[in-house]
Structure formats: C-alpha cells, structure tokens
Amino acid sequence: MDAALPHSHSGASEHAHRASFVRTYIFSTDHKMIAKQFMVTALVFLFIGGAFALFIRWQLAYPGTGIPLIGHLLPDTWVNPDGAIIPAFYTQLLTMHGTIMIFAVIIPLLVGMIGNFCIPLMIGADDMAFPTINMISFWMFPVAGAIMMAGFWVEGGTAAAGWTGYPPLSAIASTGQTLWIVGLFIVGFSSILGGLNYITTILNMRAPGMTFFRMPMTVWAVFITAIIIIIGTPVLAAALSMLFMDNFVHTSFFTPAHLVVPAKDMHLTAGGGQPLLWQHLFWFYSHPAVYIMILPGMGVVSDVLATFSRKPLFGYKAMIFAILAISFLGIIVWGHHMFQSGMNPMLGTTFMVATMVIAVPSAIKTFNWLGTMWRGQLDFTTPMLNATAFVSMFVIGGLSGIFMASTPVDVYIHDTYFIVGHIHYVLFGGSLFAIFAGLTYWWPKMTGKMMSETLGKWHFWVTFISFNGTFFPMHILGVGGMMRRIYDPTVYDFLKPFQPMNEFITINAMILGFAQFILVAALIHSIRKGKPAKRNPWRANSLEWEAPSPPPHGNFDHPLQVYRGPYEFSSPESVRDFLPQTTPPEDVKRHMAEHLERLKTAEAPQSDSTH
C-alpha cells in the first residue's frame, strides 16, 4: 500500500505489498480511500450545487438583471441577451440544485464518506465486509452524477420538474428528465450496495468485546441509516422505473386519461394512471431519506460533543432508542408532504399524528446533547464549534417542522419559503454542520495531518453567521406567502414588499457560498503544511484512535480487545480524563494505584496528573 506516501514502511513488513497507482487511488478497495473519494467527489458537487443556488438567489433578488461578470459568457439557452437567467433555465437550476445537494453531496458525505471511513475503524475491522462491492458502490456515484449533469447539454436542457419530479410534469418531459431518472436510479443502486455492505460489516466484523451497546453513536446511526436505505431505496427505484416508462413509451403509470397539454401540443388519450401514486412512492423513500441525511449527523455530533465535553454521552441507550424510534416513525410519516395534494384529508389526520409523535425522539436527542454538555469541560475546537452549531440549528429546524406538521397551518405555508427555510435548517444547519464537524474531527486520522484551527474557526464563524442570514429570513418570506420555485416574486403585488428581504438573503448567500473556499483552503493548507497528527490527537476513546494516523491498509497494527463503551470520559477510575475502549481494566487499576503512590511520595499534590 501507499506507494506514494512518504511515511510508508513498505520495507518493514511483507504484508505491506505495493499496489499500483490505479489500485491505490482510483479503483481502490480500501474503505479509507473510498471514503476520501466520496469526500472529494461530493465536495466538487457541493460547489456545483452551491453555484446553482447563487444563480437562483441572484435572480430572486434582482429579477431580470444580468448576472455580473459571467452573465454574458453563458449560452443563450440559459440567459437572455442581458445575461439574466431565463425562466426555463431557472427551473432547471432549482431542480438540479436540490437533486445535486441531496443525492450528490449530503448523502455521499454522510453515508459515503463518514460511513465508509468510520465503520471499520470504529468497530475494529480491517476493512468492509465486501471491499469490491464498496468500490463499485463508489464508482456508480460519479457516473450517476455525470449522467445527471449531462442533461445541461442536451436538447431542451436538463430536468426541470423540481427535485421531487412530480408527474405529469416529469412524465411528459425532455431528454434531460430521462437522464435525471437514470442518474437517480444509479445513485440509488450505489446507496443500496453501500447499505448492504455497512449492515454486513457491522453485524459480522466487530472486534472481540465490541458488543452492540459498546458501539459509538456514529456506528449506530449509520447502521440504522443503512437499514432505512435498504427499505426505502428499492421503492424509489421502482417509482423511477415507472416514470422512465411513462416518459418513453407512455405507459401511463402516473398520467390520467385525456391529459391535454396545450403548451406541448400533446393529447394523451390512454390513461388509468394516478399522479398521486408517484408522490406516495417518492415520499415513501424521500421522507426516510431526510433521516438518512440527518441520523448519521446526529451520530457524529454525539461523538464530537462527548469527546470535547470530556463527558460520557448523556443517556447513551436513550439516544439509541430515539434513533430507532425516529427511523421507524420516519417510514410512516411520508404523507405529511401531501396534505394539500388531493389525498384523502382523513389521511392528513393520520400522518399529522405520526409526524407530531416523531418530534418526541428528536426532542429526546436534543435534551441528551444538552445533558452531555452539562458540567463538562468544553473545548471549543473547530469540530466542537460545528457540532454545537448543529444542535442549535437542528432545534430551529425541528421546531419549524411543527408548523408544517399541523395540517391547518400547512394549508397556508405548504410550498412557500417557510418550507425552504425549514429544509435548509435541517439539511444545512443540521447535516452540513455535522459533516463539517465530522470532517474536521476525523481529518487528522484520514490524512495524518492536523488542520489549522485558525482557518477552521474562520470557516465556522463566517458560515454560521451567513447561514442564519440566508435561511432565517426565508421563514418570514414564507409567512408572507412567497411560493417556492417562482422565478420572479415581483409579479405578485403581495410579494413586492419582500424584495428588500430577498436582496438581504442573496447577499448573505453570496458570503455563505464564498466562505466555503475557506474550508478548501484549510484542507489544502493542512495537506501541504499541517502538523503531523498523533494517533489520538483529541484524546478520545473509540477504536479508530488506536490505529496509526493515517491508518495503513488493514487499519490496525495490533490486535484489539474491547472492554467498555466509547464514552468513559473523566472517569474517576482513570488517571487521565479519557479511557480508551481497549485499555484492560487491570491496567486502569494499576495506573491509578501507581498514580496514587506517586502522589503520596511527592507529598505536595501535583495538579497535572496526565502523562
């Protein structure tokens, strides 16, 4: 392994076989390299999806005004002669922004990157159960991303039916929509392969002594997420296949009889389909997908908060049961996306009750995080800052969800910017801050280099402030009634007073977007000039910190035996304020006895007892 890494000890051991460049960096089966591949690919997509968002924001703040600097460089199928985005391109942008951010950024980063990197290391395995499937699972993702992006260069442009792709709009669409369907299908396949691998690995490859209730929350969260993926994604695949057939051979799964589309000079006489069927199938996957995008983040944040509070995670088992409850309830609340869809309003009542109930385990988690910090010794490193922000932002995202859960209030705020504000508090304020926390927390282990705390903190603060400046006012726009996905709010008299707020949001969004270059700078700076990372730079307990930084192919250089849970921080039995899962109890006792002995002989008690 690591033919190109300077620290490799390739001569020392026969096991350290030299792999080719292609096997090491491109078609690698090493879970850590695959995690890095997910990271790099998804970060590229983060910037693409972010750029789309900024185009959208520009148009909303300054409708019909040319995009500065680059407006004139864009093709005339995207912009008008003034360099302003045209409506057709606007709908493509909003569709692809949502699709890319969800399927090519958040899920790959949380499940692909963190899942891949953490599972084997945290349970003490040398790799995934199926390394080759893992490799295939990764390689489907850039292929799918490229197929979806290719839509921008085909006749009629890319998909323009929103990331939710509601038929009939998506069933009578152009080639770009088909590419979107195919891309999503492949990315779903990639998820399923990943999920199977995670479940198998966690069930079978835990180190001796690593019982289920000694697993860190990140592993628990990814484990349950993988189960949701296995349950939900095939349903999405089925729905996508039907939509594909509707587009190609007019099978009418989702289109009723006598669909007349004057705009396209189309009259479909064959029918029998139901537009609502798609919504049920789509949300049966995509609502659990919201939890696919938040549960691993909750796991990461639990680990980071405990480590930097130097305290055991408050209510470890309650946290696990809360995740289980969320994942179960998450599967039966999909109808809350459809309160105004024409679905039987009695179902609205049912789904409202389930949705209100799912707020309970979310509240439990929040209180337990607060409990974890209570009487802790908080170290505000970059990962801790991001994790702290996660909790606070998740509270806002969770509370704004109550408004939508209440069916009568949803009548008004459904499909308004209130929803846009809510989803971004959950997916950016929640998932993305958790990703930043996880990335900066495990970065030393991934690369063997420390990251600059200065750059990390700059990135955090600028992101945190401009994030709130961008997304909080969207709730107010929603209360004002501004609809989602409209190209020009000034068409409506009742929305005209909100234009200054739209400008304010756009300015903040620009800062938010460009602030992400600080993160890139921090990562590059760390790789080139970062201090070498020790094995356990954060003085944490879980198994990944037993491995060298970065871990070689095969991960651990000594056999592991697990004796306790991952959160034994500040234990009175231990001399130090952390207690690794692998330290044998007799060693802990001996260290303590020696420590007390030293104190006695020294007579004057030393305050610094760590070594």
Please list every residue from 390 through 419 that binds other proteins, using CB under 8 A: 391-392, 395-396, 399-400, 402-403, 405-409, 411-412, 414-416
Q: Does 352 bind other proteins (CB under 8 A)?
A: yes
Binds other proteins by CB under 8 A, chosen from 102, 373, 515, 519: 373
Q: Does 224 bind other proteins (CB under 8 A)?
A: no
Q: Does 596 bind other proteins (CB under 8 A)?
A: no
Q: Does 537 bind other proteins (CB under 8 A)?
A: no
- Find all residues with CB under 8 Å of 560, minimum gap 6, and list them: 124, 207, 208, 543, 546, 582
Binds other proteins by CB under 8 A, chosen from 108, 489, 551, 580: 489
- Sign of the CA dihedral running 466, 467, 470, 473: negative
In 3D space, the residue among 151, 144, 48 whose CA is nearest the CA of residue 92 turns out to be 151
- Find all residues with CB under 8 Å of 299, minimum gap 6, and list them: 216, 217, 218, 219, 220, 221, 222, 323
Binds other proteins by CB under 8 A, chosen from 19, 169, 196, 462: 169
Q: Does 310 bind other proteins (CB under 8 A)?
A: yes
- Find all residues with CB under 8 Å of 56, minimum gap 6, and list them: 90, 93, 94, 97
Q: How far is the CB of 565 from other proteins (least distance, A)?
A: 9
Question: What are the strands, taking DSSP E only, across 231-320?
Answer: 259-261, 266-268
Please list every residue from 424 through 483 that binds other proteins, using CB under 8 A: 475-476, 479-481, 483
Closer of 41 and 381 to other proteins (Cβ): 381
Considering only the stretches 37-45, 46-54, 109-117, 346-354, report the one whose residues sit in contact with other proteins under the rule CB under 8 A.
346-354
Q: How far is the CB of 395 from other proteins (least distance, A)?
A: 6
Binds other proteins by CB under 8 A, chosen from 83, 162, 469, 537: 162
**Rounded distance, CA 506 to CA 474, Å?**
11
Q: Does 234 bind other proteins (CB under 8 A)?
A: no
Q: How far is the CB of 19 from other proteins (least distance, A)?
A: 43
Binds other proteins by CB under 8 A, chosen from 11, 208, 559, 572: 572
Q: Does 374 bind other proteins (CB under 8 A)?
A: yes
Q: How far is the CB of 277 from other proteins (least distance, A)?
A: 11
Q: How far is the CB of 503 from other proteins (least distance, A)?
A: 16
Q: Does 345 bind other proteins (CB under 8 A)?
A: yes
Q: Does 262 bind other proteins (CB under 8 A)?
A: yes
Please list every residue from 60 through 119 that binds other proteins, using CB under 8 A: 86-88, 90-91, 94
In 3D space, the residue among 292, 184, 181 whose CA is nearest the CA of residue 232 turns out to be 292
Asked if 158 contacts 181 with a C-beta cutoff of 8 angstroms, the reply is no
Closer of 318 and 511 to other proteins (Cβ): 318
What are the structure tokens assigned to 452, written together? 């600059």
**Rounded distance, CA 146 to CA 128, Å?**
26
Considering only the stretches 223-231, 337-345, 436-444, 528-536, report the one whose residues sit in contact with other proteins under the rule CB under 8 A.
337-345
**Rounded distance, CA 129 to CA 8, Å?**
25
DSSP 97-116: HHHIIIIIIIHIIIIIIIIH
Q: How far is the CB of 262 from other proteins (least distance, A)?
A: 4
Binds other proteins by CB under 8 A, chosen from 353, 593, 596, 599: 353
CA 455 to chain centre: 22
**How would you class 41 by CB atoms within 10 Å of its CB: exposed for 0-12, middle for 13-18, buried for 19 or more?**
buried
Considering only the stretches 9-17, 47-55, 103-111, 260-268, report the one whose residues sit in contact with other proteins under the rule CB under 8 A.
260-268
**Rounded distance, CA 479 to CA 34, Å?**
44
